[in-house]
Amino acid sequence: MLRRLLLPAFLLAALAGTLPALAAYPEKPIRLIVPSAPGGAPDALMRALGQQLSLQMGVPVVIDNKPGGSYVIGTMDLVKSPPDGYTLAYGNVVSLATNKSLMANIPYDVDKDLTLVGNALRVSNLMIVNNDVPVKTVPELIAYARKNPGKLAFASDGNGTTAHLGVELFKAMTGTHLLHVPYRAATSAVTDLIGGGIQLMMVNAPVSGPLVQAGKVRALGISSPQRSPTYPDIPTIAESGVPGFEVTAWGGIVGPAHMPKEIVTRLNAELRTALAAPAVRERFRMLGAETAPSSPEEFLALSRSETVKWAKIVKFSGARVD
């Protein structure tokens, strides 16, 4: 009787092991869409990750930059792709959280149109000022801004980015009035900040850290809940008189909806292995990022909680992306 019960299960297992779709994956190059321009932090981080994934999986992982539309153009390219594991994309706080409240007609739904494979990284922002601004600490900035409402202008690399909404959160928590000047790229904004056309920015550490170290701008604080090992002398904004303040950019790998669970599981395991590789960890560290692997379920939960958090700040700021 026991043999009759076991035999069908054995045959099913043997047959499952011969299915070509799962046994062969991957058997051709994987396209990894980065929905931003070449040369930026997401591009550099994904190239480092893609190189390691290629070594592990035995097929090329080809970076395909699709910038524009606040990550929408690249994300929609992914949404329209077959869910076979051969087209993936970088998804982050913008495409997976803030866009929902910033756009009146966002063309995709995170829950219905995407498969979240796993988070990969965290990046903190540095609050930096032009060297001529007469403040050296966050409390001094708050006091100066309150005495001079609207005198200080802050730059961002576009509406809805953490560079923008991070300062909006700071304004809401400190009762200050700062003018927002959006740019198309962080590099252009930083150039004007150094030149004095703009007084303040909250920008990703991979961009701002080298400028601080070179003395071109002054750092007042970092947006993470704890001090960064890379910049241990820069206090957190939370410890500098704004308790509870936290802004963390994050991002990971996403795929189209309806990807087979077996492929998602395989990709998540490969992602975790790649993020543990010393070369990747060091490259991320040099770029001011931390590796932050997660399960697909944890990544989805992060997306949902951050969507709620930033919706409140978007409503406060009145920011829109059309």
User: Can you give the residue ranges of every domain in the chain?
Assistant: 30-122+248-317, 124-240
In this prediction the pTM is 0.81
What mean pLDDT do residues 238-243 have?
96
Q: Average the pLDDT over each of 28-32, 41-45, 167-171, 182-186 and give the range with the smallest value.
A: 182-186
Q: What is the pLDDT of residue 305?
A: 95
Res 184 pLDDT > 80: no
DSSP 98: I
Q: What is the pLDDT of residue 41?
A: 80
What mean pLDDT do residues 21-40 have?
86
**150 CB neighbour count, 10 Å cutoff:** 10
What mean pLDDT do residues 287-307 have?
95
DSSP-H helix ranges across 175-260: 186-195, 205-213
Q: What is the pLDDT of residue 185?
A: 77
Q: Which residue has the higher pLDDT, 160 or 117?
A: 117
Q: What is the pLDDT of residue 23?
A: 56
Q: Where are the beta strands (DSSP E) in 51-105?
A: 61-65, 87-92
Half-sphere exposure in the Cβ direction for 109 (13 Å, CA): 2
The architecture that CATH gives domain 124-240 is 3-Layer(aba) Sandwich (3.40)
Query: Where residue 3 falls among pLDDT bands split at 50, 70, 90?
Result: very low
What mean pLDDT do residues 229-236 have?
91
What mean pLDDT do residues 214-231 have?
93
Q: What is the pLDDT of residue 24?
A: 87
Burial of 181 (0-12, 13-18, 19+ CB in 10 A): middle
Res 88 pLDDT > 80: yes
Q: Give the strand pairing for 179-182 and 61-65.
A: unpaired
Q: What is the pLDDT of residue 256?
A: 98
What mean pLDDT do residues 103-128 have?
95
Kindly report the backbone phi and psi dihedral angles of residue 236, in degrees, each rounded to the nearest multiple of 5, phi listed first: -75, 155
The radius of gyration of the chain's CA atoms, rounded to the nearest angstrom, is 22
For the chain, the average pLDDT equals 90
Q: Average the pLDDT over each of 84-98, 150-164, 169-183, 206-220 and give the range with the smallest value.
A: 150-164
Res 264 pLDDT > 80: yes
Q: What is the pLDDT of residue 82?
A: 98
- The Cα 214–Cα 227 span in angstroms is 20
Q: Check for a shared fold between 30-122+248-317 and 124-240.
A: yes
- The Cα 46–Cα 144 span in angstroms is 39
Q: What is the pLDDT of residue 16?
A: 45
What mean pLDDT do residues 9-16 have?
44
Amino acid occupying residue 7: L
Res 322 pLDDT > 90: no
Could you tell me the end-to-end alpha-carbon distance of the chain, in angstroms, rounded to an integer? Answer: 67
- The Cα 148–Cα 151 span in angstroms is 6
Q: Are 123 and 212 in contact (CB under 8 A)?
A: no
Q: What is the pLDDT of residue 287?
A: 81
What mean pLDDT do residues 271-278 have?
98
The architecture that CATH gives domain 30-122+248-317 is 3-Layer(aba) Sandwich (3.40)
Q: Give the strand pairing for 153-156 and 200-204.
A: parallel
Kindly report the backbone phi and psi dihedral angles of residue 311, in degrees, each rounded to the nearest multiple of 5, phi listed first: -60, -35
What mean pLDDT do residues 250-255 have?
97
What mean pLDDT do residues 245-264 have?
96
